[in-house]
Amino acid sequence: MAKQKQKASSSKITSQPSTSSNTNDESVGFPSHLLKRLPPSTTSADPLIKHAVYVARHALSSAECQAWVKYAEEGNGGRWDKVSHPATKYIAHRECGRLQKNDTNTAQSLYNRIRIIVQEVASQVDIFDKASLPSLKRKINTSASMQQPKYQPVSCNPNLRLYKYTKGQWFGRHVDDSNKINFASVQKQNNVVGSPFSLSDVKEAQTEMTVLFYLSSCRGGATRFHLPTGKQSGKGKKADCSVAFVPEEGAVLVHVHGDHCLEHEAEPVLDGVKYVLRTDIVYGIV
């Protein structure tokens, strides 16, 4: 019998972007200086696992990473939501601290920061082009003067999550779900970065890739991906083949999720503190 793949959480959550542009509420918002439009990072993305997992080192500056950590520990009053649940048949073990906020402006700023990296990765992974579906072609009004609609990366997920793993904390083997995103309520001035379209014009928006911004280095705490293999070990069981990335301050890891997500885990932190900013790459038809 095939092993049940565990999920990161008990159910899928459809992220609804915030319609508010106010991010000055220190209890929930992100610091204003992190919303500035920094130029896109030009670092290259190296394949950790071809067509599935990519890492761009030094994508964020040390100052950026330290600003996020400073905000997490001070700007929010040091209040972390405690995440602690044992493994069940369907849910992976997890223990860490979490801060979570829907923030479209910050998501767009983050996307602008890594959009060259995202474009490079998008050209090397196999994401099904929803725009090619006949049923969707009929739904989307086009004219001869309009460019042919395309299913492509448009933003980071406004559902932003900061995670803090201290010594001994870890996240068991799991897969990440793909979630539908509704940009209908987003204000018109929120444009798709590098495009004349507004996010509110995006159709069939859905997350397709997980993004992990590593905000600190630590000992242990590696993100390990497990590859399916048909090889048999000496005891007749399938041998486990895996590839790991140890957290490096400023690195960004992007991996395909949803139906093609590889099982992965966050190994226990051995020393130091692991800070991670988690979002997703949203695709949509524009």
Distance of alpha carbon 244 from alpha carbon 49, whole angstroms: 10
| Residue 285 confidence class, pLDDT cut points 50, 70, 90 | very high
Residue 236 has pLDDT above 90, yes or no: no
| pLDDT tens readout for residues 262-271 | 999 999 999 9
Model pLDDT, residue 144: 44
| Residue 147 confidence class, pLDDT cut points 50, 70, 90 | low
| Residue 204 confidence class, pLDDT cut points 50, 70, 90 | very high
Q: For the purposes of burial, counting CB atoms within 10 Å of the CB of 75, is it exposed (0-12), middle (13-18) or buried (19 or more)?
A: middle
Q: For the purposes of burial, counting CB atoms within 10 Å of the CB of 9, is it exposed (0-12), middle (13-18) or buried (19 or more)?
A: middle
Candidates 250, 209, 270; CA nearest to 68 is 250
Q: In 10 A of CB 144, how many CB atoms?
A: 4
> Which positions ≥6 away from 148 have C-beta within 8 Å?
131, 142
Which domains, from first to last, does the chain contain?
44-84+93-130+157-173+209-279 (2.60.120.620)
218 DSSP β-pair partners: none
| Higher pLDDT pick, 1 / 249 | 249
| pLDDT tens readout for residues 22-49 | 333 344 567 666 767 789 999 999 999 9
What radius of gyration, in Å, describes the C-alpha atoms of the chain?
19
| Higher pLDDT pick, 146 / 129 | 129
| Residue 261 confidence class, pLDDT cut points 50, 70, 90 | very high
